[in-house]
Amino acid sequence: MSTALAVFVVQQEFSDASWKKSAPVIVNENGATIYLSANEGENLRKVQKAGRQLDNLGIASVQLSGEGWDFERQWAFANGYTDTRSKNKLQWASNAEALSQTRNIVNWTRELINLPPADIYPESLAKRVAEKLESIAPDQVSSKVIMGDDLKQEGWMGIHTVGRASKHAPCMLVLDYNPTNNADAEVDTVLIGKGITFDSGGYSLKSSEGMLAMKCDMGGAATVAGALALAVEQGLQKRVQLVLCCAENLVDGTAYKLGDVITYKNGTTVEVVNTDAEGRLVLADGLLYAGETGAKRIIDAATLTGAAQVAVGNEYNALFSVDDELANKALSTAAAQRENLWRLPLQPWHKENTPSAFADCANSRPQKGGGSGGASNAAGFLLRFAPRDGQGWLHFDIAGAYHNSANAMWATGATALGVRTIAALLND
């Protein structure tokens, strides 16, 4: 006999007087029941909350049972029912192959972000991602890792500068998924991920509380890697390159300092006014690399700014682009994938919002959080390095990627919000 708790969804009025009407799920001798309303958006939130409640009750295994379980309802339940260490067992009601495929990749992404910083450092992040993609498509994936002083030799000064103070050498992973096996095939999309495997803030040192969750600062790298893995498993037939900009932002006598000036491969000079605004420094290298490929589209993801989280909360990711058509496509894709995404302002003049008297620009404003409009100003800094003046470029500031503590929707830790959206954009 199965030991899994049966979970049902029913489209009818809540009627059990022994439970509060606000309860997302009712548990009795027959199993657990989620009562749905006419509002499907609210239904999905309720289903996800029901998953959280069952996890909080210590239910280790469930079977989604009966009619009414479409793909999105099952996925919403799975998001809520996934505990921090991904130990819960879930049997699907339908669409088992597609849901299991998605859940396996999303759980891998979450686990990567949740790993302790002793286990996930620049080289190990690059290695884990390369091994995962190679295991999915061994004949279509090739990769190289540029490490340490080789970054400086090749002109990738942002990554080298940020990571040079750590005993774990900084690196850039360049992974090529080429299903055509034609070396001259055009690159459709370059994915770029911020891979700061631990962020102390550098000399602009974070507080202990602010540093505690900074193992998640490689969430952008994990998100784009997970998105590519999912897209490949779903049958991606376009050439895509993945660029992870990996470093630990630590402090020793060789660390970069306030007032330093970085000269990038394209000649742009950047004054460092905040060593805790390091993500944009490494992403600039990724954008310059993407420009060299001639790719039609460029998508980057990063846990870049606290300002984005202030603007949209931690149940949304923030989107920036000066390409309206592509931005609207991303928003409609996110809506179809039931992932919260909100566009924030970005105009060409945002490039001028981090001025410097000593260089072409600064990496931030010398004030807490980068001042007002900090997320847009960070995106404006990146726009300086985006090819074609930003046409074909999307920047995801993934405010919803990680939760410091559990809430009614998510367990503590990584969410992998954005993986489905970016995978769907690749396969579009």
According to DSSP H, which parts of 89-154 are helical?
A: 96-114, 122-136, 149-154
Query: Cβ(242)–Cβ(173) under 8 Å?
Result: yes
- 366 DSSP assignment: S
Q: Which residues contact 53 (CB under 8 A, 6 or more apart)?
A: 23, 24, 25, 80
Phi, psi of 322 (to 5 degrees): -105, 5
- Judge whether 280 counts as a catalytic residue: yes
CA 160 to chain centre: 22
Half-sphere exposure of 40 (CA within 13 A, CB side): 9
The secondary structure element, H or E, covering residue 293 is helix 279-293
- Judge whether 420 counts as a catalytic residue: no
- Beta bridge partner(s), residue 269: 263
Given 280, 338, 365, 420, which residue is catalytic? Answer: 280
Question: How buried is residue 199: exposed, middle or buried, by Cβ count under 10 Å (0-12/13-18/19+)?
Answer: buried
Helix (H, G, I), strand (E, B) or coil at 422: helix
Given 206, 265, 296, 343, which residue is catalytic? Answer: 206
**Residue 57 CB neighbour total at 10 angstroms:** 11
Max intra-chain CA distance, the chain: 73
Phi, psi of 307 (to 5 degrees): -65, -35
CA distance 56 to 78: 14
Query: Cβ(290)–Cβ(224) under 8 Å?
Result: no
- 352 DSSP assignment: G
Phi, psi of 335 (to 5 degrees): -65, -40
Query: Cβ(172)–Cβ(283) under 8 Å?
Result: no
Amino acid at 242: L
Length of the chain (residues): 428
- Beta bridge partner(s), residue 174: 144, 243
Query: Cβ(388)–Cβ(402) under 8 Å?
Result: no
Dig out the tokens for 222 from the structure. Answer: 């994990």
- Positions annotated as catalytic residues are 206, 280
